[in-house]
Amino acid sequence: MLKYIDIYSEKRTHFIDITDEIKEILDESNIKEGICYVYVPHTTAGIFINENADPDVKWDIENTLEKLIPWENNYQHAEGNAAAHIKSVIVGSSVSIPVSKGKLLLGTWQGIFFAEFDGPRTRKVIVKIIEG
């Protein structure tokens, strides 16, 4: 099963919890055992899994990435968004989550986040659920 999620970011850096949307896609698939692959086909965005219970975790991640990779830093990339490209490399463009008994095998506090680094923009996330 292959599905797309439309994402609308509201600011340059925006972490959006997409866990519920992915769970809905899994439910629609009727796949009970397998793998859920989540991929972002954009060079200035990413996907990560982390705590989704405390919003301060998102803030800490965003704040630390900004300190490590500031928007202005004498980059050579002519488009002016080199920091977004670098952050997406660090965060990564995909995650894989095991599926068992029709459920994502996420930890108690884990959620799946889309990471925008060059917003606001409209983006796509690809979700592929493979039975097995």
Q: What is the pLDDT of residue 44?
A: 98
In CATH terms, is domain 2-131 a member of 2.60.120.460?
yes
pTM over 0.85: yes
- Map out the domains of the chain as residue ranges: 2-131
Enumerate residue ranges in the chain where pLDDT < 70.
none
- At 76-106, the pLDDT tens digits run 998 999 999 999 999 999 999 999 999 999 9
* DSSP per position, the chain: -EEEEEEE--SSSEEEE-HHHHHHHHHHHT--SEEEEEE---TTEEEEEEE-S-HHHHHHHHHHHHHHS-S-S----TTS-HHHHHHHHHH-SEEEEEEETTEE---TTEEEEEEESS-S-EEEEEEEEEE-
